[in-house]
Amino acid sequence: MTTLQRSGAIEVRALRIIQAKDYPLFVFMLRADQILEFADISRVSRDEAGKLIGYQRPQVKKHIHEIVQYLDSDLPIFPNPIIMALSSRVHFRSTRGGNRHPDDGVSDTGRLVVPLSEEGKPKPAWIVDGQQRALALSQARRRDFPTPIIAFIADTVNLQRDQFVRINNTKPLPRGLVTELLPEVDSPLPPRLAIRKAPSQLCDILHSDKNSPFHGLIKRTSTGGAKQSGAVVTDTGIVDMIQESLTSPSGALYPYRDIGRGETDFDGIIQALFIYWAAVRETFPDAWGKPPEKSRLMHGAGIRAMGRLMDRILGTVDPMRSDAPETVRKHLELLAPHCRWTSGVWEEIGHRWNEIENVSKHVHELSNYLIRVYQIARRSLV
């Protein structure tokens, strides 16, 4: 074994690779029974103030069981490393002559000494990628199974979270988890993720701001316990609604972006969203705040369809005016008699209220119906 347990520390033989100044990578090995003694798993949650902490997806029992079965088979091969963030308290001591290629100047071998924490205190490492594998290894029969580890030094959760999002960018992470993590990532993101960052930030405000009509109603990966029981709207539905309005030239939120300067008027967007969706809540009180199986207004299809109607209504109403809330309510009242959020059949569409699903065809049909009925009702008043 390459690990050596000493009083208050674990010492491992390691390869140090310099990819970026001040952020060396360490490649080493741990036994299966050492991994969870050595590293914590940081799961997504929120503190009492509502601030996001952690970054890992919840434990998946079926997946873990499948890995354990494989590890307990006759000839398991486990090449995928577990990626960890290490405390800056670690110390690397280069082995004399350990750098086989002195001219490259980027790698050398030596001993990595990792101080162990006292009982009850955080461990010296955090698992950034490989949560399920680590838990499976801890349950496998072979306690000394050698496991490859790749680690970097990062004391801050922000840096760990940044690496977690990037590492899992091509994996099927739950969209809700990515949605919730994106606002917490400070460094530049790939275009596919960057375009979702602003809508994710706005979704976070809609969920957490006590003045928001969506306060406490949005399902978040980090929300659990009693708080989760009142959450009825998926955050991905909210993000999709906002993103479509922000990125489409015909969207009500599009004018709040200064593309030339790369700036966005978040205060203006929040005011517009608060005014419109508060008016929706007041126009449809019997459908608001119910789970989607009891109200399609709270369903992903309803949120997206009403978002497209928002683009039409706020295209004619200035949210900055003092009478904007009342004006938006009057616009929505034109539509109210024709909506079937909790019972009945949607006229022209031909679907019962609970047959509407969050698929492109239904979202398109519902959106077109709401906009058409709204426009006809407006013309009849002229």
pLDDT single digits (tens) 227-277: 566 889 998 899 999 999 988 989 999 998 876 766 778 889 999 999 999
- Rounded to whole angstroms, the Cα distance separating 216 from 322 reads 26
Is 101's pLDDT higher than 80?
A: no
Q: Own/partner pairs for 73-77, CB < 8 Å, 24+ apart?
A: 76/145
Q: What's the average model confidence in pLDDT over 82-102?
A: 75
Can you tell me which residue has the tokens 């300067």? 261
Min mean pLDDT across 73-87, 122-136, 159-173, 305-319 is at: 159-173
Give the range with max mean pLDDT: 90-94, 161-165, 175-179: 90-94
| pLDDT for the residue numbered 196 | 59
Burial zone of 211 (CB within 10 Å; 0-12 exposed, 13-18 middle, 19+ buried): exposed
Torsion angle in degrees (nearest 10) through CA of 330, 335, 336, 342: -140
> Could you tell me the residue ranges of all domains in the chain?
3-167, 175-381
**Phi, psi angles (nearest 5°) of residue 240:** -60, -40
Is 163's pLDDT higher than 90?
A: no
| pLDDT for the residue numbered 56 | 47
**Residue 155 or 341, more confident:** 341
| pLDDT for the residue numbered 73 | 85
For the segment 308-359, what is each residue's pLDDT rounded down to a tens digit?
A: 999 999 988 988 899 999 999 999 999 999 999 999 999 889 999 999 999 9
Q: Tell me the sheet residues that pair with 92.
A: 112
| pLDDT for the residue numbered 222 | 60
Q: Residue 223: pLDDT band by 50, 70, 90 thresholds?
A: low
Cα-to-chain-centroid distance, residue 91: 33
Q: Residue 55: pLDDT band by 50, 70, 90 thresholds?
A: very low
- Rounded to whole angstroms, the Cα distance separating 268 from 155 reads 36
| pLDDT for the residue numbered 40 | 81
Q: What's the average model confidence in pLDDT over 210-236?
A: 79
Of 302, 308, 312, 162, give the one whose Cα is nearest residue 234: 302
Token output for 293: 């199986």
Q: Tell me the sheet residues that pair with 15.
A: 27, 109
Is 123's pLDDT higher than 90?
A: no
Q: Residue 166: pLDDT band by 50, 70, 90 thresholds?
A: low
For the segment 14-29, what is each residue's pLDDT rounded down to a tens digit?
A: 999 887 776 788 999 9
Q: What's the average model confidence in pLDDT over 144-162?
A: 77
The CA-atom distances, in angstroms, between 41 and each of 37, 151, 165, 310 are: 11, 14, 15, 41
Pair 311, 250: CB distance under 8 Å: yes
Question: Which residues, in sequence order, are CB contacts of 337 under 8 Å at separation 6+?
Answer: none
Mean pLDDT across the chain, nearest whole number?
Answer: 80
Pair 269, 202: CB distance under 8 Å: yes
Of 84, 79, 91, 221, give the one whose Cα is nearest residue 163: 84
Q: Residue 44: pLDDT band by 50, 70, 90 thresholds?
A: very low
